[in-house]
Amino acid sequence: MRKVRVMVVDDAVVVRKIVTDSLASDPEIDVVGVAANGRIALAKIPQINPDILTLDIEMPEMDGLQTLVEVRKLYPLLPVIMFSTLTERGGAKTLEALSLGATDYVTKPANVGSVSVAMQRVRDELIPKIKLFCAEKAGLKPHPTAKPPPTAKPAPAAKIIPKVKKIFKPRSDTPANTKIDIVAIGVSTGGPNALAELFPVFPKNFPVPIVLVQHMPPFFTKLLAERLSSKSEVDVVEGAPGQVLENGKAWIAPGDYHMVLQKNGTHVKIETNQDPPENSCRPAVDVLFKSVASLYGPNILGVILTGMGQDGMIGCEHIKDAGGQVIVQDEESCVVWGMPGFVAKANLADKILPLNQIGQEIIRIANVGR
C-alpha cells in the first residue's frame, strides 16, 4: 500500500493551507504539490504525477473550468474533485464542471467560526472522496466501485476499472401488473449527470408525479432543478412547503431540508423540515421514501441511482414492505455503486438495470393499468 498523491489547486493561500494541512493529517494521503492557478497546475502535473486533483473553480489566469477542460484532454484518467463555494454562482459552476467531466465536488467550508472547524469539514467531506476514487490505484481498503460521471465531451472522464461484478438476484414477489401512482428517486455522487440522462426520456404526459432526493447543498438543488427542467418535457422544480403534487411534474428536495409528503384532503402536498440528518444526509432519501411508502402503499416505484453510502436502503425496505417496486442502477453504469449496491445486496431490488434502460422501464411501469 502507498499513500494517495494529491495535488491542491487553489488561488487562496489560506484555503491551500487549510486543505493541505487537513489532508496531511491523514496517514494514507500525501500532498505532493500545490498550484495557485490552472496554468501552474498543468505545468506541474507531469512533474509530480498526482493520483488526484482538488481544483478550485474561481482562479485568475486560468480558472477551474478552463483547467478541467485541458486536464480532460491531457489526462483523461485523472480524477478531479472540484472545490466550490456554497453560493448560487458556485452551484452553477459546479454543475457545469460535472458536465465537463469532473469526478465529484466538495463545497468550501465558509462561516464555520474557526480554522479547526474548517479543517474538520475538509477531513469529513474531502478525504473520503479522495480515498474512494483512488482506492485501487493506491491499494487502500476496498471501496464501492467508483468511476467518473459520463461526459458529452470527446475525452472521457477518469475511470477506475470495476472489479468482477457479483450477480444479485432481483426480487420476484411484486406483482408485475401493480399500478403505480408515484415515482420516488434517490441519487448522490454522479447524480446530476445521471439525472440529465434520465429526465429527457420522460414524455410531457408522464402519468404520475416524480419526487426525488439528490444529495446537494442549498443553491445547488434549485439550479439542478432548473437545468433538468430546461432539458426535459417534464417540469422539474425545487420542492417547497405546500406545493401539491401533479402528474407529469417532478420535485427535488431542497438542499439542507428533508422533504416529506402529507395528505391534504384528496391531494398530496410537499412539506420540508430540518430534522436531524439521516445517514449523515439532509435531505435524505430514506426520509422521503418512508414518507412516500406511508401514503402510497403498494402503488410506488422507487428508483436508486448512483451514489456513495447507503442512504435509501431503509427507505426501499419500507417501499417493499408496503408492496411497492424498486429499480436500482447497475454497477457498471454507476459512478459509485454504493447506494444501489446496498439495495441490491439486501435483495430489495425488483430490477437491476443500466442507466440507459431505466428511463424506458420507468415509463413502462408507470403506464401499467392505464
> Of 108, 138, 168, which residue constitutes the final position of a domain?
138
Judgement on whether residues 250 and 334 belong to the same structural domain of the protein? yes
pLDDT of residue 171: 57
* Residue 267 annotated to the active site: no
CA angle (103, 106, 109) in 5-degree steps: 165
- Whether residues 249 and 354 share a domain: the answer is yes
In terms of domains, do 235 and 349 share one?
Answer: yes
121 and 189, same domain (yes or no): no
205, 329: one domain:
yes
Residues 262 and 121 in one domain: no
In angstroms, the CA 250 to CA 63 distance is 34
Examine the pLDDT at 169 and tell me if it is beyond 60.
Answer: no
Tell me whether residue 199 is in a domain.
yes
Q: Are residues 340 and 245 in the same domain?
A: yes
Asked if the structure places residue 63 within a domain, the reply is yes
Give a yes or no: residue 74 inside a domain. yes
Contacts (Cβ under 8 Å, ≥6 apart) of 327: 301, 302, 303, 304, 349, 350, 351, 352, 353, 358, 361, 362
How far out from the chain centre does Cα 309 lie? 10
Domain for residue 56, yes or no?
A: yes
Q: Per the residue annotation, which of 51, 311, 330, 350 is the catalytic one?
A: 311
Q: Provide the pLDDT for residue 160.
A: 35
The pLDDT, as a whole number, for residue 164 is: 36
Q: Determine whether 219 is exposed, middle or buried from the number of CB atoms within 10 Å of its CB (0-12, 13-18, 19+).
A: buried
Per-residue pLDDT tens over the stretch 259-277: 999 998 899 999 999 999 9
How large a percentage of the chain has pLDDT more than 90?
Answer: 81
Which stretch of 78-82, 132-136, 163-167, 205-209 has the lowest confidence by average pLDDT?
163-167
Q: What is the CATH number of the domain that holds 307?
A: 3.40.50.180
Q: What is the CATH number of the domain that holds 82?
A: 3.40.50.2300
Look at residue 156 and tell me if it is in a domain.
Answer: no
Lowest-confidence region among 169-183, 268-282, 325-339: 169-183
Q: Is the domain of 333 the same as that of 196?
A: yes
Q: Which of 138, 168, 190 is the last residue of a domain?
A: 138
Q: Is 188 a catalytic residue?
A: yes
Res. 175: pLDDT tops 90: no
Catalytic: which of 143, 215, 258, 318?
215
- When divided into structural domains, the chain yields a total of 2
Do 123 and 37 fall within a single domain? yes
Residue 177 lies in a domain: no
Residues 129, 199 share a domain: no
Give domain status of residue 170, yes or no.
no
Q: Which of 85, 117, 138 is the last residue of a domain?
A: 138
Task: Tell me the pLDDT tens digit for each residue of 274-298.
Answer: 999 999 999 999 999 999 999 999 9
> What pLDDT is attached to residue 142?
47
Contact criterion met (CB below 8 Å) for 250 and 212: yes
Is 212 in the same domain as 267?
Answer: yes
Which pLDDT band, with edges at 50, 70 and 90, does 143 fall under? Answer: very low
- Give, in degrees to the nearest 5, the angle at Cα 222 between 219 and 225: 145
Domain extent, residue 57, equals 4-138
215 is catalytic: yes
Residue range 4-24, pLDDT digits in tens: 999 999 999 999 999 999 999
Q: Are residues 120 and 62 in the same domain?
A: yes
Task: Classify residue 305: in a domain, yes or no.
Answer: yes
Among the listed residues 188, 232, 291, 333, the single catalytic one is: 188
